Amino acid sequence: KIQEAIEKGEISHEEARKKLIEFHEAQKKASRDREWESIKRKIEGAVREGKMSREQANEEYERIEHRMHGRDKIAREAQERMRKTEREIHEGMEAGEISPEDARRAMREVHEEMNQVIRRKHLEFEVQDHERRIEQALESGKISKRQAEEKMKEVRQHLARQFRSESGGKEHEARPRTE
């Protein structure tokens, strides 16, 4: 509908961009709300079943909320960088410094790069979550130090394979955390 409105001259490209951003933001909010409701059902179910204390549930809510805010911040920052680059490319095209074909190619490359940045950051969050869980299991005596090391190695290998498959094999391994 938006593309049709542009073609008919009913709205400008800038108005269309704003409408698309609003649409995507509304979709993200709805998705986040569904995700949070699902999380609450699982955690509250574990509390009711005695698998988790209220204190543990509250800690888990806090951890998940922190992670969700971190993901949102990463996406926001990437979107801002992408919009700035898109404006620069568009300005270059309007000034005749770049052809429309080169502009489309540059935009595609920017989008691919930002998606990789976002995915890499999300994988870093996943590694941190796994490390925290493994550390808790180690501290509680559920696993040995050797088992913890093996589990972390498995997690990193799995996430590296996952990242490579999602990125078309461009990334060779997940970056290990340095402390």
In this prediction, residues 117-136 reach a mean pLDDT of 82
At 173, is the pLDDT very low, low, confident or very high (cuts 50, 70, 90)? very low
Instruction: Grade residue 167 by pLDDT with cuts at 50, 70 and 90.
Output: low
Average pLDDT over residues 149-174: 71
Q: What is the pLDDT of residue 169?
A: 52
Across the chain, mean pLDDT equals 82
Judged against a pLDDT cut of 90, whether residue 146 lies above it is answered with: yes
> pLDDT tens-digit profile of 103-113?
888 888 888 88
* CA separation for the pair 64, 58 (Å, rounded): 10
Query: For the whole model, what pTM was predicted?
Result: 0.53
Which of the four pLDDT bands, split at 50, 70 and 90, describes residue 64?
Answer: confident
pLDDT exceeds 90 at position 85: no
User: CA 127 to CA 20: how far, in whole Å?
Assistant: 33
What is the predicted pLDDT for the residue at 118?
A: 80
HEC profile of the chain: CHHHHHHCCCCCHHHHHHHHHHHHHHHHHHHHHHHHHHHHHHHHHHHHCCCCCHHHHHHHHHHHHHHHHHHHHHHHHHHHHHHHHHHHHHHHHHCCCCCHHHHHHHHHHHHHHHHHHHHHHHHHHHHHHHHHHHHHHHHCCCCCHHHHHHHHHHHHHHHHHHHHHHCCCCCCCCCCCCC
User: What six digits make up the tokens of 29?
Assistant: 């909010």
